[in-house]
Amino acid sequence: MSQHYAPPATPSVTIRPAEMSDVSETWVRWLNDPKVTQYSKQRLKTHTLDSQSAFLSQRLLDESRVVYLAFLYGTHIGTGEILYIRNSDEGACAEVSYMIGERCCWGKGIGRQLVNLLCKEAFKNKNIRKVQAGAHRENIGSHKVLLSNGFKISKERNSDTYFILDREDFI
């Protein structure tokens, strides 16, 4: 990571790109917590330090993705990811995903702050016109996070709701 990287921040939440040294028991604990992964495909797997290291290693090699760690007043509380999509039906766009692993942080506006920071990062790329996200239909907390950041529902399919945010609508 560049020493000149200035992470975007809100008064309480900061993000920075993940590094291999960031794989931790805490991150793995979140992935194995049925409440944290209730609406995620991650709930279908058992995670270990080795499996999380392999996952992050793969992501770090993929130039179209950036994995971020989220911190609340310096404490690691979650993760986020941006996938840059060059050619899509929506034009140049990015997809954001996120997880607040520390349950004590739920319902306090921290997810909203995290998604806002991820969108700011995505829109730094001037070619990105839209940011996409998805959430399980029953994940009302995630729906609120996305809608509070200016996302609009674009479609529903199976058990998922898909959201889109135009650059012009970014809050």
The mean of the pLDDT values for the chain is: 90
Tell me the C-alpha distance between 103 and 18, whole Å: 21
Looking at domain 13-169, its CATH superfamily turns out to be Gcn5-related N-acetyltransferase (GNAT) (3.40.630.30)
Residue 90's pLDDT is what?
Answer: 55
The confidence band for 1, taking pLDDT boundaries of 50, 70 and 90, is very low
Residue 105's pLDDT is what?
Answer: 94
Would you kindly state where each structural domain of the chain is located, as residue ranges?
13-169
Tell me the C-alpha distance between 108 and 61, whole Å: 34
Give CA torsion, residues 151, 154, 158, 161, to 10 deg: 10
Q: What is the pTM of this model?
A: 0.89
**CB distance 78 to 102 below 8 Å:** yes
Kindly tell me if the per-residue pLDDT of 159 is higher than 60: yes
Residue 4's pLDDT is what?
Answer: 46
Helix and strand counts by DSSP (H, E) for the chain: 4, 7
**CB distance 49 to 28 below 8 Å:** yes
**Mean pLDDT throughout 77-85?**
94
Give the tens place of pLDDT for each residue, 98-120: 999 999 999 999 999 999 999 99
**Mean pLDDT throughout 151-156?**
95
Greater confidence (7 vs 139) lies with 139
Tokens coding 19: 């590094």
Residue 41's pLDDT is what?
Answer: 80
Burial state string for 100-123 with b = 16 or more CB within 10 A and e = fewer than 16: bbbeebeeeebbbbbbbbbbebbb
**Mean pLDDT throughout 55-70?**
96
Spell out where 21-103 has E strands: 65-72, 75-85, 93-100
